[in-house]
Amino acid sequence: ELTETPVFDYTHRRMNDGLGRAAETLTGGEAGPAVAFDQASVERMLRGLIESLDSPQSDQEQDFSQGGGGGGGGGQGGGENPLIPPLAELQMLRTLQQDIYDRTRSLEQAGLSGEMVERVGSEQHELAEQARAVLEAMQQQAPGGGGG
């Protein structure tokens, strides 16, 4: 289930929010810079989702999930493969961070401030929380990596 992959769930929520804001603004008969920023952000997130899921990660994932080597068939890692591989979540985190960076630069270059800047700052904070959650989950899944 998608909720088991917090970064992808977060990404989908951000896309829904951005598209909702753009639709609301366009329905009101306006097409200002906020619409363009939201649409570009959603486009980057969609590309990031596709790229992170499309990447040939099978060998990397095998190495990651098996601690870098070993053979055998008995999964000490304790279970089935996750719906979304951990490396795909990390790749999506990187895409989201790049999106925030790009929007921050664009806002600065356009001389915009106010609500849009506050939203980007809030998203940066949320993204940091997502990164912490992913790292904690990866540490718990790692062989010998329990509580801390």
Taking each helix axis from N to C end, the angle separating 115-141 and 86-110, rounded to the nearest 10 degrees, works out to 160
Residue with tokens 């304790």: 78
Taking each helix axis from N to C end, the angle separating 33-54 and 115-141, rounded to the nearest 10 degrees, works out to 20
The model's pLDDT over 93-127, given as tens digits with 9 standing for 90+, comes to 999 999 999 999 988 888 877 888 899 999 999 99
Q: Report the 10 Å Cβ neighbour count for 92.
A: 24
Helices of type H across the chain: 6-27, 33-54, 58-65, 86-110, 115-141
Confidence band, pLDDT 50/70/90 cuts, at residue 145: low
**Does residue 147 carry a pLDDT above 70?**
no
What value does the mean pLDDT of the chain take?
A: 81
- pTM to 2 decimal places: 0.74
